Structure 1
């Protein structure tokens, strides 16, 4: 029992000192963190959840019209590419009027071949009965592709699945905040962000589709017709982002944000904010080839169907890097870079409900939670002191150390404390005491059996550790399941519980054992009262 070497003592002490050091910034209000001492303390601290710090609550709904529009446009590009690969099918007069895609087959003998090609395109999974577009023939020579309900529902499901991940990455790029992003029904996403009291900025960040495209400007378009919203076949009219007129661009996309690798805010040679972007290998190849073939022509940089700028291609742009310029501020360039890095939304999200939760409610929750925690801890400490004497004192010291360690681990990882998290904190205190109770009762039992003092303490810690380990394994499994399948407050509870399991085992077994060993070495008692 007395074999507790100095290196173990120093290891335990260093862990405890580190716990106190990293927990201090979370225990002292920011208003009091002034002076030279605070400049050397760690910057990490515990975030407060929506129920404690207040924040923003948004309910976003998918714009079905926007999804259908871009689904139709994507199918148009796909059909154009497919027909271009087969010179045997002479087709033209491609139209997307009334929400359906159609084209004319000039040679009636080729209609059946064209229909088969379109049916193959409309069966992306290669399975019978899973076509997402219905293919038919009108007026004997016009092939018509109509989106069906099954394809539309699947497209919406896929888009919403992507949207959840994109929204989470935009709000929390580091993945350390306790935000809530969950689906509600088939076409809605609930977003709750603690500590953010500006829902307008949050809506702008979430609602931006960040659909980036590079297209050639149509130089043959009549400027007067363009301003009236009319463009030649194969082109489209888009507004300028600054509101100064409209511009006609080719429908064919040179390169899109799907091939984007990274985006970072920067400044041009005149000190104006812009964004540097890097494409992947495929995007770099497409962009380089397009700029080589169109030197001297303007191309449009389009974000969410608005033209940011339309510079001339002075020379081929190789290497997969480009610069997005526009009327950016420093803040808007940062937000756009975050949106581009997090990926584009497959469907536009429209806010239908928004609430700002006041931090006053959180202060009341913190106050009541602190009182409940204090009463619980104080009651437990009195019980341990009365029941186990000196060993109860050691257990109480371990409780205080355990609290510091939990706060330190949460601060280092930037975890978020919620009201259920406070409940998890109190529960871990009980679990830590439970471990000490097992140890102390086991020591009592060994003494009743007539064992010598040192043997009784040694056996008490060794035998109790097995029961402590088994009990905490079951707790850890429960916490892991809640953290994986839960969200929001449930996950916050699970995180605190999981951290508390580790720290309580450390303090209840190793820290209290160190205190007992140091006392036994110094006092050399013949009997103990426990």
Structure 2
């Protein structure tokens, strides 16, 4: 390789610079198009919430779902059962014909995690301890995933949803600035979105206004209010025909009769089969569409309904229909969540954090630039140019990957600046040591980079391992710090080592001819 020429090292640095400028510009100038960095809760303000999960409800929902499966199987196989009830954590029913016991026993044996007790033809079913714990664990994990999906579809930029402790969920929503937005987000998070299709007990519907809850339970029924007028009650069969676990899609549409928003939903193959079988066997009867314990409609079944699709109409506004559809699509919460702690961070506090962080960033950069120039001369300028490219590349990569910048993340950028310069400090000191020992300038530069490489790589590698561990086990702000640090470490290996070496390659002829080591390296050779 000839000295004094443009080498591949400088070409790589120039390509990195162009790449950085292209992908960091939208973030610096907040353009309408292009990838931009999202600001975290602490920088733009928003809502911080800590939620608790009511896991007991998940157990009850599991029990009801098993009861519905038993009811469907019994009807499909024409097995006569009596007094099927799902109460708290227990399912009870009686078998009419002892000859059918083998079929029921086989069906129950295929369901994992059940304790089945038989007293003659009377069955009592509950979950065993392992299945109970697994249901609770699944309910919490499902709540985290469901809330995250809902907020993503709601349109919030980079919400943080993470499990905290045994049964708590941390939710951070950047960009929530108005009370209306806050309330809408809270309603969407807390909405159970538990869809059930339930048979109306037409025989006892006329008694709905006077029937007590205890009376309804004695008949195997429940009483739910109408969504438009809670004074009007429906008497429904306690065991649902099917529930929202079989739902595959929910979309907002508009009714052809009155142009009001409605929600069209679709069921999976199992749900479609159950829905079709039920409607075919119950023509002339009513089927209630229940969402979160309220009846939205209870139409009469005129014919068998195939295709596995249905419709929910309930006087929605467009916004309400949109939010309900999001909740249905993302799945029902197996266990309801309750607000334990809420903290709002105003935009002004975020702006103040940004201002202080930018002041720290600018101050650190100026001091480093001055120090490098004064102490290392022109080689310090090379390091400063590489440092500028480093910062641009960090912003570019964060924008490209859709990363969220938090206050700890900005601290990570400031720290990365120091680490990037540290690599050049090591290199320049190695070059000066070789110059003191009498090596030629060209040899000192080549050997300086070679001798410094192992120390730089070892230091960066150990730091990278640390930040990977921080990202793996940390929460939101810690992850933000880890992301910026890891990007900064990898980028600095490119700019601080490859880039500055490229500048020496370009100016090597001029450096050797001048012989002014004080100007170029901050060290005057005797």
**Do the structures match in fold with TM over 0.5?**
yes
* CA distance in structure 2 between the aligned counterparts of 1:521 and 1:331, rounded to whole angstroms: 70
- Work out the number of aligned pairs and report it: 507
Q: Does 1:481 align with 2:469?
A: yes
Q: Which residue of 2 aligns with 1:354?
A: 342
Residue in structure 1 matched with residue 135 of structure 2 by the alignment: 155
Task: Please state if 1:61 is matched with 2:41.
Answer: no
Deviates more, 1:398-407 or 1:13-22: 13-22
Secondary structure of the structure 2 residue equivalent to 1:351: strand
Aligned partner of 1:128 in structure 2 is none
**476 and 83 in structure 1: CA distance in 2 versus 1, 3 angstrom threshold:** same
Does 2:158 correspond to 1:177? Answer: yes
Deviating more after overlay: 476-485 vs 247-256: 247-256
Of 383, 387, 409, the residue aligned with 1:421 is: 409
Check whether the contact 1:176–1:414 (CA below 8 A) recurs between aligned residues: no
CA displacement 1:225-251 (0-9 Å, x = unmatched): 134456694554322222353334444
Map 1:201-212 onto structure 2 (within 5 A): 201-212=184-195
How far residue 288 of structure 1 moved from its aligned partner, in angstroms, is 4.5
Separation (CA, whole Å) in 1 of partners of 2:413 and 2:88: 59
State TM-score, norm by structure 1.
0.81
1:190 aligns with: 170
Matched residue, 1:46? 37
Measure, in 2, the Cα distance between the counterparts of 1:192 and 1:476: 27
Quote how far apart the aligned CAs of 1:525 are. 3.8
Deviation at 1:79, TM superposition (A): 4.2
CA distance in 1, matches of 2:312, 2:63: 27
Indicate which of 464, 467, 480 corresponds to 1:492.
480
Q: Which residue of structure 2 aligns with residue 104 of structure 1? A: 94
Q: Distance in 2 between matches of 1:313 and 1:402?
A: 68
In structure 1, which of residues 512, 518, 522 is the aligned counterpart of residue 506 of structure 2? 518
CA distance in 1, matches of 2:380, 2:125: 78
Q: C-alpha distance in 2, partners of 1:286/1:105?
A: 22
CA distance in 2: counterparts of 1:112 and 1:279, whole angstroms: 31
Whether 1:76 and 2:64 are equivalent positions in the alignment is no
Secondary structure of 2:411's counterpart equals helix
- 3-state SS, counterpart of residue 208 of structure 2: helix
In structure 1, the residue matched to 2:444 is 456
Q: CA deviation at 1:382?
A: 2.2
Question: Is residue 164–residue 183 contact of structure 1 (8 Å, CA) maintained in 2?
Answer: no
How far off its partner does 1:25 sit? Answer: 4.1
8 Å Cα contact 1:275-1:325 kept in structure 2: yes
User: Cα deviation per residue 1:308-335 (whole Å; 9 max; x = unaligned)?
Assistant: 3344556655555544443333322332
1:62 deviates by 2.8
In the superposition, the TM-score normalised over structure 2's length comes to 0.81
516-525 vs 43-52, which deviates more?
Answer: 516-525
Distance 1:459 1:301, change over 3 A: farther
Counterpart for residue 238 of structure 1: 224
Q: What whole-Å deviation, never above 9, does each CA across 1:55-90 have from its counterpart, x for those lacking one?
A: 222232233563354244224224445666887x86
CA distance 1:98–1:293, shift in 2 (3 Å): closer
Runs of 5+ consecutive residues of structure 2 not aligned to the other structure: 522-526
CA deviations over 1:396-438 (Å, ceiling 9, x no partner): 1222221222122222333222222122111211221122123
Listed one character per residue, the Cα deviations across residues 278-319 of structure 1 (whole Å, up to 9, x for unaligned) are: 444434444455455556655333222222334455665555
Corresponding residue number in structure 1 for 2:316: 328
After superposition, give the CA deviation of every residue in 1:5-54 in whole Å (9 maximum; x if it has no partner): 688756543432342343344345xxxx6xxxx45xx3433222233333
Q: 1:301 aligned to 279, 289, 298, which one?
A: 289
Instruction: Tell me the residue number matched to 1:508.
Output: 496
Q: Distance in 1 between matches of 2:46 and 2:360?
A: 24
Q: How does 1:306-317 map to 2 (within 5 A)?
A: 306-311=294-299
Q: Please, what is the CA RMSD of the aligned residues? A: 3.8
Alignment of 1:362-441 (within 5 A): 362-441=350-429
Hey, what's the Cα distance between the residues in 2 that align with 1:298 and 1:117? 32
Cα displacement string for residues 207-261 of structure 1 (whole angstroms, at most 9, x for unaligned residues) = 111222334444x334431344566945543222223533344445444322333
1:110 CA drift (Å): 8.1
The separation in 1 between residues aligned to 2:428 and 2:283, in whole angstroms, is 83
Asked if structure 1 preserves the Cα contact closer than 8 Å seen for 2:248 and 2:329, the reply is yes
SS in 2 for 1:45: coil
Q: Is the 8 A contact 1:115 1:136 kept in 2?
A: no
Do the aligned partners of 1:162 and 1:346 also contact (CA within 8 Å) in 2?
Answer: yes
Matched, 1:263 2:250: yes
How far is the alpha carbon of 1:189 from its aligned partner? 2.5
Corresponding residue SS for 1:172: helix
| Aligned residues of 2:160 and 2:170 also touching (Cα < 8 A) | no
* Deviation, structure 1 residue 347: 0.6
Q: Which has the higher contact order (CA 8 A, sep 6+)?
A: 2
Inter-partner Cα distance in structure 2 for 1:5 and 1:281: 65
| Residue 328 (structure 2) aligns with | 340
**Structure 1: runs of 5+ lacking an equivalent:** 126-130
| Partner Cα distance (1:21, 1:246) in 2 | 62
Change (3 A) 1:277 1:372: same
Deviations 1:129-162 (A, max 9, x none): xx6x57364xx76444466777655433331122
Contact 2:198-2:236 at 8 Å conserved across structures:
yes
Q: Is the 8 A contact 1:181 1:192 kept in 2?
A: no
